[in-house]
Amino acid sequence: MDSTELPGSHPEASDKTIVDPEPPSGRMAQRDADGRTHLNRFPGDPAPHDRIKGVAIAAFVQWYQQTQDRARLAEVIASMRPEHRVHLDVNRPGAGLIASTWYPSALVHELLDGLSAGLSESETEALATQAEGAVMDATLHGVHKLFFRMLVTPERYARYSQPLWNRFFDSGQMVTEVEGNEVRSRATNWRGYHCFICRMNREAMRIIHTAMGVKVLGKVETVECMAQGDKSCSNRLRMAR
């Protein structure tokens, strides 16, 4: 997909509303190491039928191979559904994920659920932060580096937030606004939402603005969360101006 295409324009990403009877890895709810339940997707939501670009996840998986638990990655992949497992090869860098290829959101969700299962809230947050650090390092210096060089101000980032979104996801509308010292982003109609990816997106927002030379104040905050029943996934970043 290039930056001129509309989200959801691919024929493979249909608008089917079939509820997945057996969510992979208990995708809709995970119990962390402290016994608390957190939702990756809102219970009863239709299984996603959209796609995620490999660049959004391949660098994370390769980083995980190199710095985390290769054995756990192998176990997670081995337990995945056959139609998802066929795309992955634990013996290849990034488990064989290709940055330029579009993958089913459900595949990425199942992989992320497996790697984050049993982690505490703080451990999950740390993993997502490090994961996005690896992704953004590859992105800022990789195939999209020229595009990111265009995002030299928060206002320009806001203007190009939809084309940027389209490079990673093929469903959803992203609107970003700058008001005073705040940047607010809001994703709606995103069929493939997932809490781990939302965590990664918050970190991406921080990294991109930091790369512009913006001083980010505190953490990027979650304002709305579709996994909690909200109509969108939205975040707020505060900056010194």
Per-residue pLDDT of the chain (241 residues; tens, 9 = 90+): 333 333 333 333 333 323 333 333 333 344 444 544 456 888 878 778 899 999 889 999 999 999 999 999 999 999 999 999 999 999 999 999 999 999 999 999 999 999 999 998 899 999 999 999 988 887 776 555 566 666 689 999 999 999 989 999 999 999 999 999 999 999 999 999 999 999 999 999 999 898 888 999 999 999 999 988 899 999 999 999 7
Structural domain total, the chain: 2
Parent domain of 61: 24-121
Asked, for residue 115, whether it belongs to a domain, the answer is yes
Beta strands in 180-231 (DSSP E): 182-188, 215-224
CATH number at residue 191: 3.90.1520.10
Which of 86, 121, 156 is at the close of a domain? Answer: 121
Residue 103 sits in the same domain as residue 158? no
Q: Are strands 215-224 and 51-53 parallel, antiparallel or unpaired?
A: unpaired
Burial zone of 34 (CB within 10 Å; 0-12 exposed, 13-18 middle, 19+ buried): exposed
pTM of the model: 0.81
Residue 224: strand, helix, or coil: strand
Q: Does a structural domain hold residue 172?
A: yes
Task: Report whether 7 contacts 172 (CB < 8 A).
Answer: yes
- Do 106 and 154 sit in the same domain of this protein? no
Residue 59: name the closest of 125, 134, 142 by CA. Answer: 134
Burial zone of 145 (CB within 10 Å; 0-12 exposed, 13-18 middle, 19+ buried): exposed
Query: Under a CB-based contact definition with an 8 Å cutoff, are residues 236 and 219 in contact?
Result: no
